[in-house]
Amino acid sequence: MESHLYKITGITNMHVGSGAANYSIVDNEVEKDELLKCPIIHSSGVKGALRDFVETTDNASLANSIFGEPSDKNDGRMKPGAFIFMSANMLTRPLRVSKGTMSFINTTTVDIINNFITLVKSFNCMPEELKGLNPIDLDEKAFGNAEFLCTADAEIEDEETKMIKDEFEQLDLLKKLLGDNFAIAREIDDYPLPIVARNSLDGNGKSNNLWYEEFVPHHSVFYLIILPPKDCNDSLRIEKWLPKDSIIQFGGNSTIGYGYTLVEEWK
């Protein structure tokens, strides 16, 4: 099965809304993976954002071939497109560093790393530089009293942080996956996403409504798997409609600069 793996890096803050009702102080929460409890961009949102990108750079006929088009029966249904789009899963998100030379460090968990490894191996798109990377196993002894394991001499979110030693298993491969400086948290959902107060103005410029919105901070990293059709003709080849290092906007609030990302194929 042919598949393509993409890395999505946040250039600006992002809000991909869950649309779910909640009873907390946050009115608009971001989409979250039900098991991993971290942000996710569901496949429908991925497909919509990529379709918008293609339609602004190519013709509607090409977009219909890639993503699908309305049924001839006028029943509101869509004919399937040629490509299959997975959800974009979070790999890391930045957390503030309270002691050290950095202002933030990208953070992940064992479950998030292992979910990445399982998915890319299942769809046979493990990057060449990561060949040999296997699921990791960290027990309570590895963390000790710390909430984070970190490759840098830093303290994260005023929590006890333990340095990862050079003999840490698969450290070189993890650095290729996550960058030289990264942290592994016990539970990343213990550290809430940032929240911003938003308001809308009426025609006279007066505040009409105030609400609170959760967002994914810039520098967060997601990954995405796209499956092309078995017999893909030259006009539909993925590198033609999704060029190298594309800037693509995910989620709402584009008018205030939300959701802009760098999308690059992870060969």
The alpha-helical segments, DSSP class H, found in 58-207 are 60-67, 110-122, 140-143, 171-178
pLDDT of residue 139: 81
DSSP letter for 89, please. E
The overall longest dimension of the chain from CA atoms, in Å, is: 63
- For residue 78, give the amino acid letter: M
Handedness of CA 176, 180, 185, 191 (dihedral sign): negative
35 burial class (0-12, 13-18, 19+ CB within 10 angstroms)? Answer: exposed
Angstrom distance (rounded) from CA 13 to CA 7: 16
Is 121 in contact with 153 (CB distance < 8 Å)?
no
Q: What is the pTM of this model?
A: 0.90
pLDDT of residue 99: 86
pLDDT of residue 59: 73
Nearest one of 91, 86, 71, 95 to 192, comparing CA atoms: 95
Angstrom distance (rounded) from CA 60 to CA 56: 9
Between 2.40.50, 2.40.30, 1.20.1070, 3.40.50, what CATH number should domain 1-16+43-86+217-267 receive? 2.40.30
The Cα angle at residue 86 between residues 233 and 108, in degrees rounded to 5:
135
pLDDT of residue 198: 75
Task: Please report, in tens digits, the pLDDT of each residue of the chain (267 residues total).
Answer: 789 999 999 999 999 986 554 545 666 788 999 999 999 999 999 999 999 999 987 777 889 999 988 766 666 677 888 999 999 999 999 999 998 889 999 999 999 999 999 999 999 999 999 999 999 998 888 899 999 999 998 899 999 999 998 778 899 999 999 999 999 999 999 999 988 887 765 556 566 667 788 999 999 999 999 999 988 888 889 998 999 999 999 987 767 789 999 999 998
Angstrom distance (rounded) from CA 90 to CA 221: 6
Residue 181 CB coordination number (10 Å): 16
CA torsion 158-139-7-232 (nearest 10°) is -160
pLDDT of residue 1: 72
- Half-sphere exposure at residue 169, Cβ-oriented, CA atoms within 13 angstroms: 9
For CATH 2.40.30, the residue range(s) in the chain are 1-16+43-86+217-267
